Chains A and B, each alone.
Chain A
Amino acid sequence: DTEVTQTPKHLVMGMTNKKSLKCEQHMGHRAMYWYKQKAKKPPELMFVYSYEKLSINESVPSRFSPECPNSSLLNLHLHALQPEDSALYLCASSQERSGGTDTQYFGPGTRLTVL
Chain B
Amino acid sequence: KQEVTQIPAALSVPEGENLVLNCSFTDSAIYNLQWFRQDPGKGLTSLLLIQSSQREQTSGRLNASLDKSSGRSTLYIAASQPGDSATYLCAVEMDSSYKLIFGSGTRLLVRP
A contact residues, range: 20 to 34
A93 to B44, CA, bound (A): 12
- Known A50-B98, A56-B98; judge A109-B31 contact (CB<8 A): no
- For B98, the chain A residues whose CB sits under 8 A away are 31, 33, 48, 50, 55-56, 100-101
- For A108, the chain B residues whose CB sits under 8 A away are 42-43
- For A79, the chain B residues whose CB sits under 8 A away are none
Question: Is A67 at the interface (CB under 8 A from chain B)?
Answer: no
Q: Say which residue of A55, A88, A106, A111 sits within 8 Å of B45 (CB atoms).
A: A106
Q: Is the interface of A mostly helix, strand, loop or mixed?
A: strand
B contact residues, range: 20 to 34
The residue in chain A whose Cβ has the minimal distance to the Cβ of B49 is: A103
The residue in chain B whose Cβ has the minimal distance to the Cβ of A39 is: B41
Q: Is the interface of B mostly helix, strand, loop or mixed?
A: strand
Produce 1/0 per residue, A41-56, CB < 8 A to B. Answer: 1111100101000011
The residue in chain A whose Cβ has the minimal distance to the Cβ of B46 is: A103
Question: Is A64 at the interface (CB under 8 A from chain B)?
Answer: no
Contact across chains for A99 and B43 when beta carbons are under 8 A apart: no
The listed residue with most B CB atoms (<10 A of its CB), out of A44, A102, A107, is A102
Q: Say which residue of A43, A88, A100, A105 sits within 8 Å of B102 (CB atoms).
A: A43
Question: Is A81 at the interface (CB under 8 A from chain B)?
Answer: no
**Residues of A near any B CB (own CB < 8 A):** 4, 6, 31, 33, 41-45, 48, 50, 55-56, 88, 90, 92, 99-109, 111
Can you list 18 A-B contacts (CB < 8 A)?
A: A4-B43, A41-B104, A42-B102, A42-B105, A43-B44, A43-B89, A44-B102, A45-B100, A56-B98, A56-B99, A88-B41, A92-B44, A100-B93, A100-B95, A101-B98, A103-B49, A105-B46, A109-B43
